[in-house]
Structure 1
Amino acid sequence: MTSISTQIALSAHDVEGAHLDLPDFHRWFAGLADQCYTHTRRIPLDALDGWHTLPGSGDIVHASGKFFTVNGLDVDIPGNAVPHWTQPIINQPEVGILGILVKEFGGRLHLLMQAKPEPGNPNGLQLSPTVQATRSNYTRVHGGQDVPYLDYFRDTSGHTVVADVRQSEQGAWFYRKRNRNMIVSVSEDVELLDGFCWLTLGQVHRLLLVDDLINMDARTVLSCLPFAGAGELSGTGDGFRDVVARSCGPAVRGVHSEDEILRWITDVRVRTELSTRLIPLHEVRDWHRTEYAITHETGRFFDVMAVEVRASGREVRTWTQPMIEPHGTGLAALVVRRIGGVLHAFVRASAEPGFLDVAELSPTVQCTPANFDVLPAAARPPFLDLALNAPASSIRFDAVLSEEGGRFFHPRTRYVIIEVDEDLEHPDFRWVVPHQLVGLLRHSHYVNVQARTLVACLHSLTS
């Protein structure tokens, strides 16, 4: 019997599919734009319906006490380039479900993907997991319709669970936010609902190269796929594709063992004196509330703003909500290098104020470059210039992809994978093999959301 990791690798090599080829997909997706959409309009903060600002604290809360709250956060990191600051942050303690259903058609594994509009998406409709729902949504606090296919993930008896792990989200904007990332394999017939399609992994990998198409929630679930089978199917050549595929197999050895990597992460978590506490929103310093937004005095970082949404193809048709609006396009760059014929990724153990366990592995560079115009020179990330000035000949992946569109307004990040020849060294970084990253993804809170996107992008280069 073919293992699930081999099925995944075979699916990654199939770009035709049993249902739609890629031209058919693009026609199908374009045709949904008139049926599934969100029309978003900026409104004053005081015009939020169902939300209110608490008079004592300034916190923005929902009348139900569910969904999320906009609080203030006080952050202390002694020895950091910026050792202390306060900021607004989204506090959403409930754990949602991000799930992809997989099933074989014609001997190839297919993924059930959803065309889903989000109010913060810069282009409206994006390709999302089968299920993408907060607990408040799937328990229908909003009074809307049921979430399709949810039962496959709430009751997995009789199915094969390929992945099931809680993972963090953006630690700069969310306070200890986690979602349950799930992949469930089924064999029985599954009704195909409007707005959903079956695609092979190879087709999804091709679509990752299209700006703003595969949403963040889909990318984080894709990163959790066991990808060891790529090593079994890899060629023996020294081309980049074969090197990536071989480096996904568990037989290859890296410059650091799994135990050494785990000890390093634990050591960083113990040594980093990160202290955070939620504070009333009106106590954040250097931030000011206007009619339409809460903004930083420099005009950098992000705003807290409010929107009115009219939607089609969603569980609810109209609502209002607060959102975070980032300033500038982010950069997430993963530097890779062949060491002894094995591809290694140069990852950093980074602390973010919203993380549950202090630090997680991040890309080589993760930042919004424009923010450093107002930050101390010492805050400039190592290797930022390398990422910004990388020659085209060294770039193996390059796409601008959206971050989560349910809480953030038009958040975009350039994701880039850069291959180098030189050995880079820094005490906060380690060279890690792709299969070691995937191994860490079987556990919670080791690999951050930006690095998980780059794991998915790296896997796409084996297709």
Structure 2
Amino acid sequence: MAARIARSAAATGPATGARTTTGEIVAWLAERRRAHGTRIRRIPFAELDGWSFQEGTGNLVHRSGRFFTVEGMRVHDADRPGAPWEQPVMRQPEVGVLGLLAKEFDGVLHFLAQAKMEPGNRGMLQLSPTVQATRSNYQRVHGGSGVRFLEFFTEPGRARPLTDTLQSEHGEWFLHKSNRNVVVETADEVAEDPAAEPDFRWLTLGQIGELLRLDNVVNMDTRTVLACLPTTAEPRPSRHTDAEVSSWLGAARSRSRLTAEPVRLARVRGWLRDERAIRRTDDRHFRVVAVAVEADGREVGSWTQPLFEPCGPGVSAFLFRHFDGVPHLLAHARAEAGLPQTVEVGPTVCHTPDGHGHHPAYADVVRAADGARVRYAAVHSEEGGRFLYAESRCLFVSLDGVDDSALLTPPPDHLWITPGQLGALTRRGHQVTVQARTLLAVLNSGAARL
């Protein structure tokens, strides 16, 4: 399987096995953006249709009891000074499907991608997986149309699974959210006529990699699915064995004293609610806002919903270095209160916008990196169905040639691991953060080479 994935990653145009050029894909995305004519506007909470603040708790809920709720969360970290902090958080117990359909054309694996609009994305329309749907959506709680190609991911035996795991999402904004990340392969004739399926195109992994070099083109859900691909080839020497990496993560989880408990949204301390936003008293971190959306090509043509809006951009970066000719990433055992197991493997630096007064280790190293050391840099949107204009600058920064003993022997919550080891952890599920999975997708697709 790894050889087939590598062949797809090497195919970037018709000369190497792709069905079309990447330039044609960029033009197709622009054409679909014009065709869908999406409009979004901010509204006061009172104009939300089907959403309301629940009597007693103040939680923001949908009348169906489905989709998601905005509640309160109290977080306590016994290893950090100060009182517990409180904040709004999204609770979405349903497990959604993020699925890519794969098929071989002339011996090269292609993936069926969708031009999909999400209200919180920059530019709104980005490259999405074949299927990107919550359970409420694909069970049509909204009363709209069905989800195209869902049957390949829900009907047993319909397609051959290549990877299938449960993965977490942003643990600072979601409480224990998981999605199914799945790639299945078919031999059926599917979406091969662009006129019949104008919102879908078959792309190689290499073409998606070329698009990942552009800002805000490939959405978060595509990136996290690509991170789960079985790309590991022959074993390569690493500074730590796989068992040692697992032990390091297990020890970090056992040491963590970060705890979270739900509280009523109406009682969240340090936050204010007015007619248009729920925000901190100092207007930092993020806000809860409401939007009205009109969009052609979605299961429902118009709707309203709450979104979380961060107060600034984030940074997600891996420092890397070669040891004995093998690239290693400096991984961080990152604790986030909303993660199902509290601690997962994250990038070296993952700075959530204006985070809780905590300056992450190695942030200065990333910030000071010059052009020669930055091997990859692009801005990518986070989950556009839940977050409004949430973006992170994603980077790989080389430390080759840097003589710094502190970097070679990092603190206990950091460890040098290979990309292959990061991929193996990802395929186990609930081991690697969504930010680290974005950067792994960059490597898996060939968008960056270390």
- TM-score bucket of the superposed structures, by smaller chain: over 0.9
Residue 6 of structure 1, aligned match among 3, 6, 9: 3
User: What's the counterpart of residue 393 of structure 2?
Assistant: 414
Aligned equivalent of 1:271, options 231, 255, 258: 255
Supply the AA of the counterpart residue of 2:295: A
Q: Which residue of 2 aligns with 1:207?
A: 211
**Secondary structure class of the residue paired with 2:428:** coil
Instruction: After TM superposition, give the deviation of residue 45 of structure 1 in Å.
Output: 1.2
Aligned partners of 1:255, 1:266: CA distance in 2, in Å? 18
Whether 2:133 is the aligned partner of 1:133: answer yes
Greater mean alpha carbon deviation, residues 419-428 or residues 281-290: 419-428
**1:44 shift after superposition:** 0.6
User: 2:294 matched to which residue of 1?
Assistant: 310
**What letter matches 1:349 in structure 2?**
A
Deviation string, structure 1 residues 413-462 (Cα, Å, up to 9, x no partner): 00000010335111110001111111111112100000000011123225
Question: 4+ runs of 1 displaced by more than 6 Å?
Answer: none
Distance in 1 between residues matched to 2:375 and 2:140, nearest whole Å = 43
Task: Give the counterpart letter for 1:449 in structure 2.
Answer: V
Contact 1:334 1:417 in 2 (8 A): yes
Alignment partners' CA distance in 1, 2:162 and 2:36 = 30
C-alpha distance in structure 1 between counterparts of 2:127 and 2:206, whole Å? 15
Alignment of 1:18-417 (within 5 A): 18-81=18-81, 84-192=84-192, 193-228=197-232, 249-368=233-352, 370-371=354-355, 375=357, 379-417=358-396
Asked if the contact 1:156/1:184 (under 8 Å) is kept, the reply is: no
| C-alpha distance in 2 between matches for 1:334 and 1:276 | 27
- Secondary structure, counterpart of 1:343 in structure 2: strand
Alignment map for 1:424-443 (pairs within 5 Å): 424=407, 425-443=410-428
Query: Cα gap change, 1:81/1:343 in structure 2, threshold over 3 Å: closer, same or farther?
Result: farther
TM-superposed CA distance for 1:263, in Å, is 1.1
User: 2:110 and 2:284 mapped to 1: Cα distance?
Assistant: 42
Paired residue secondary structure (2:34): coil
1:369-427 deviation digits (Å, cap 9, x = unpaired): 6447xx2xxx2111000011111101111000000000000111000000103351111
Aligned to 2:437: 452
Alpha-carbon distance, 1:250 to partner:
3.8
Q: Does structure 2 retain, via aligned residues, the 8 Å contact 1:37–1:313?
A: no
Q: Distance in 2 between matches of 1:382 and 1:158?
A: 47
Q: Please list the CA deviations of residues 66-97 of structure 1 after superposition, one character each: whole Å capped at 9, or x if unmatched.
A: 00000000111101255620000000010000
TM-score by structure 2 length?
Answer: 0.94
1:224 Cα deviation after fit: 0.6
Change in 2 beyond 3 A, CA 1:183/1:407 = same
Q: How far apart are residue 368 of structure 1 and its match?
A: 3.6
Question: Gapped runs of 5+ residues in structure 2?
Answer: none
Query: What percent of counterpart residues are identical?
Result: 44
Instruction: Supply the distance in 2 between the matched residues of 1:139 and 1:277 (Cα, whole angstroms).
Output: 30
Residues 311-338 of structure 1 show CA distances to partners (whole Å, capped at 9, x for unaligned) of: 1110001111111001101000110110
What amino acid maps onto 2:10 in structure 1?
H
Contact 1:44 1:306 in 2 (8 A): yes
**Partners of 1:152 and 1:203 in 2: CA distance:** 23
Q: Tell me if structure 2 keeps the 8 A contact 1:37–1:117.
A: no
Q: Which amino acid aligns with 1:300?
A: R
Q: CA RMSD in A?
A: 1.4
| Contact 2:95 2:135 (C-alpha < 8 Å) held by counterparts | yes
Shift of 1:253: 2.0
Checking the alignment, whether the CA contact within 8 Å between 2:99 and 2:183 is kept in structure 1 is yes
CA distance 1:332–1:350, shift in 2 (3 Å): same
Change (3 A) 1:117 1:37: farther
Q: Distance in 2 between matches of 1:108 and 1:265?
A: 36
Q: How far apart, CA to CA, are the structure 2 residues paired with 1:370 and 1:357?
A: 24
Matched position secondary structure for 1:175: coil
Count of residue correspondences: 435
Q: Output one character per residue of 1:315-367: Cα deviation in whole Å (capped at 9) or x when no partner.
A: 00111111100110100011011011111000100110101111000100001
Q: Greater shift after overlay, 29-38 or 218-227?
A: 29-38
What is the CA distance between 1:300 and its match in structure 2? 1.1
- Inter-partner Cα distance in structure 2 for 1:121 and 1:81: 36
Unaligned runs of 5+ in 1: 229-248
Query: Does the CA contact (< 8 Å) of 2:381 and 2:390 recur in 1?
Result: yes
Partner Cα distance (1:83, 1:394) in 2: 40
